Chains A and B, each alone.
Chain A
Amino acid sequence: MICQDCHQNSATVHLTQVINGHKTEIHVCESCAKEKGYVSEEEEPYSLHNLLSGLFHFDTSAMEKNSSNQTKLNKELTCSKCGLTYKEFTQVGKFGCASCYQTFGDNLNPIFRRVHSGNTTHEGKVPRRIGSDIYQRKKLTDLKRTLQQLITDEAFEEAAKVRDEIKSLERDLNQDGEGEA
């Protein structure tokens, strides 16, 4: 297979990108992949450079059309912790610190959707120590869902057990909260 960009080298980097909801195949050689930003020098599948500049153009055209305040605000968004602006982020393709995520908030959703095949929310591991609260809360949500189902199914005996479990979990969570305050 020949590189679709330079038509000279053989294509050694293969991936798909979701562009406007369509999966597009990309087959390029290592050097074109690096040049176009599909892969960085390390082992990242592709850098965000192209994706972000694409989004950025989209933003500009949207602003030209209706020059909504919202878009203007996005442009001026600045992380109070590290000083990175949203505009800089779209140019560099990297965050400066953990607070950037909070600062740029929902503006990041289209980017994440594009990079992570439509996903915006974490589904995996939660840190054991600092995340124990989150872990418990997740468990609580799951239990409440189970309880609803059990009630619908009229499995009242089991539902009572789950209700007890929920109560004790809620007690634990409240105590933790007080302890920290």
Chain B
Amino acid sequence: MGLEQFINEAISPWLKQDGPDSDIVMSSRIRLARNIEQIPFPIVASQDELEGVLHFVQNHFNHQSFEHYKNLEFVQINELTTTEKQVLVEKHLISPHLANKSNDGAALISKSEQLSIMINEEDHVRMQLYFPGLQLEKALEEAFQIDDWLEEKLDYAFDEHRGYLTSCPTNVGTGMRASVMMHLPALSMTQKMNQMIPAINQLGLVVRGIYGEGSEALGNIFQISNQITLGRSEQDIIENLKSVVQKLIEQERHARAVLMDQSELALEDKVYRSYGVLERSRIIESKETATCLSDVQLGIDLGIITNISKSILNELMVLTQPAFLQQYAGKTLAPQERDVFRASLIRERLTLEQKEEF
């Protein structure tokens, strides 16, 4: 398979779309956790009970469509190879828990890959919905509609006092985790992000560096999400999250402007060096990849680099993950081999840009 076709199939269609503030906000996500009344939660349920849930969902929802979420495909996890499972994890369509720990797990995935409904994860039903850019209200509105649609067939475990009942006490109430993925290179470079984090935490939000196997926030990509699910309405939670995200966008824009104003040449140098590394290297680790991609993305957003598409960070952060590389290579790769394949995939991907250009 050619690289172009591979990328086309690998990247979720919704990721290629632009959204509000998508130069800084990579995506917005709403996740709702639900359980079915009368059936014990997955950690306690018997094999028979879990299979019952699985078959019920398969019979009622496989190949169904809801509004523009067309043709939900029922994917049974234990029928997938290890690499296939891992690819779904790297695309954020299923959780590592569903891939590795659930016995009778499945997922209903919409054609656009914007909607994924995990079955028999920690809870019976975990629906997650993605939107490009900052679109929390839209995501919540549609998540509620999908929730109502599922509820036509499923009897949810709900208590007037405690709300939606979940396996973990950290999810009870709304069962909602709203999160926003942000690219904040200027705030990170200027050490401002570290100063802002405590204030964000005080507002009941969790900040996490995502990506990376060890301990670092790779690619200056941060995930901001709500910590509290009980005692506040979904709308309030989202309003709080949104206002913090908007502040961060403002601060990031300001920091970018200051950088351009005070050290344009140094910034250009940094951006072009990273571009050079991506374009020329023969062996590259994921950490260096993320750092360089973040620099190049910043260069694109500031107009320093003009011949690369705006979605490069989003795209290559996913494509250079281990399982994707192995799928592209068509075989299992040792870590050192991955670094070689990663370098060659990035080089080829950048060559593709130049072809489009001329």
Residues on A close to B: CB < 8 A? 1, 3, 9-10, 12-16, 23, 25, 27, 29-31, 39-48, 81-84, 92-98, 101-102, 108, 111-112, 115-131, 134
Residues from chain A with a CB closer than 8 A to the CB of B160 are: 122, 134
**Is there an interface contact between B231 and A116, defined as CB atoms closer than 8 Å?**
yes
User: Are A9's CB and B214's CB within 8 A?
Assistant: yes
Chain B residues near A126: list those with CB within 8 A. 158
Interface string of B154-181 (1 = CB under 8 A from A): 0111111111111111111110110100
Determine which of A1, A41, A98, A129 lies in contact with B97 in the assembled complex, contact meaning CB atoms within 8 Å. A41
Q: B31 to chain A: closest CB distance in Å?
A: 8
Tell me, in angstroms, the Cα distance from A117 to B214 when the chains sit together.
30
- A43-B95, A94-B41 as given contacts; A130 in contact with B206, CB under 8 Å: no
Check A117/B228 contact, CB under 8 A, given A9-B216, A43-B95, A124-B234.
Answer: yes
Residues of A close to B214: CB separation below 8 A: 9, 29-31
* Bound-complex Cα distance A127 to B157 (A): 10
| Binding-face segment, B193-201, B256-264, B345-353 | B193-201
Closest to B149 in A: A128
A130 to B34, CA, bound (A): 13
Fill in one digit per residue for B127-158: 1 if any A CB lies within 8 Å of its CB, else 0: 00000000000000000100110011001111
Measured CB to CB, the closest approach of chain A to B262, in angstroms, equals 24
Check B177 against A14 for contact (C-beta < 8 Å).
no
New A-B contacts (8) at CB < 8 Å, excluding given A9-B216, A116-B173 = A1-B194, A14-B201, A23-B202, A30-B215, A46-B206, A46-B227, A119-B230, A127-B156
Residue B250 is within 8 A (CB to CB) of chain A in the complex? no
Q: Which residue of A lies closest to B218 (CB)?
A: A12
Interface contact A12-B217, CB-CB below 8 Å: yes
Give every chain A residue within 8 A of B37 (Cβ-Cβ).
Answer: 98, 130
| Residues in B178-222 with C-beta less than 8 Å from chain A | 179, 194, 197-198, 200-202, 204, 206-209, 212, 214-217
A95 with B231: in contact, given A14-B206, A15-B201, A81-B40 (CB under 8 Å)? no
B23 at the interface (CB under 8 A from A): no
Query: Is B232 in contact with chain A by the CB < 8 A criterion?
Result: yes
Q: In the complex, are the beta carbons of B216 and A12 less than 8 A apart?
A: yes
Assembly CA distance A84 to B169 (angstroms): 15
* Interface size class, chain B: 35 or more
Assuming the contacts A14-B208, A119-B228, asked whether A3 and B162 have C-beta atoms less than 8 A apart, the reply is no
**Cross-chain contact of A96 among B41, B161, B172, B223 (Cβ < 8 A):** B41
Given A123-B233, A127-B151, check contact A97 B169 (CB 8 Å): no
Q: Is the CB of A9 within 8 A of B215?
A: yes
A and B contact pairs by CB, cutoff 8 A, 19 listed: A1-B194, A12-B215, A14-B206, A43-B31, A82-B40, A83-B44, A94-B41, A98-B38, A111-B169, A112-B172, A115-B228, A116-B228, A116-B231, A121-B162, A122-B231, A129-B151, A130-B37, A131-B158, A134-B160
Contact of A122 among B152, B163, B170 (CB under 8 A): B163
Partner of B197, one of A14, A83, A98, A115: A14
Bound complex: CA of A95 vs CA of B179, how far in Å?
24
Q: With A14-B207, A30-B214, A130-B151 known to touch, is A121 a contact of B230 (CB < 8 Å)?
A: yes
Docked-complex contact A10 and B216, CB < 8 angstroms: yes
Instruction: State A52–B185 Cα separation when bound (angstroms).
Output: 37
Partner of A48, one of B97, B148, B170, B215: B170
Q: Is the CB of A116 within 8 A of B96?
A: no
Contact A42 B95 (CB under 8 A): yes
* Contacting residues, chain B, for A93 (C-beta < 8 A): 168-169
| Complex: chain A residue closest to B128, CB-CB | A43
**Among all A-B residue pairs, the 6 with the closest Cβ atoms:** A119-B231, A122-B163, A12-B209, A9-B215, A29-B215, A98-B157
